[in-house]
Structure 1
């Protein structure tokens, strides 16, 4: 049953990522990979929130492993950073990597703080 919940959550997260990525790219003319950063920040926040709420193993499997796992994408962020380096935009790549880590970790902390305040 847990594997099925993870699979359904993962499928939902992947579809949400695809739609969100497309919508952000449609509205943004930036050459910076803002869509992936936004997706990873939102996913990090949700993960922190759910972790702090001490939900059941079932909810954690569905939301954290499934939805957040399918929604967020460290691998795409890594490929985008390498792409920036290949374009000889090393400073931009470094800023993107640092922003990805710092902002996502901050989003987890904010989600956890909100979760603790709600409990």
Structure 2
């Protein structure tokens, strides 16, 4: 369910930090963005960050990848006491400039004020 528990046009600003790229399909990603737009007041601002496929420090084999993740470990826990089975592979969709533009144009509203940029660029 992609419905957020807020009334239409409830917020002056909406943040979605490292969330949208976890949805498995384009339809669900676009649905999530539309839901953000629904709760945003007219003239409000939205910031959406996603993983970019074009990165200097990491190469992805495809746009849809599983990236190993391990929960943070306690500073006091001995490495030998930790269980490596805690690792899991959350799905990520790494956006290209083209896929960002496709998602942007899939919305119903005016996207002329939206721009994409990579951190540090």
After TM superposition, the score normalised by the length of structure 1 is 0.36
- Report the structure, 1 or 2, having the larger helix content: 1
Please say which structure displays the higher CA radius of gyration.
Answer: 2
- Report the structure, 1 or 2, having the larger strand content: 2
After TM superposition, the score normalised by the length of structure 2 is 0.35
Higher relative contact order (CA 8 A, sep 6+): 1
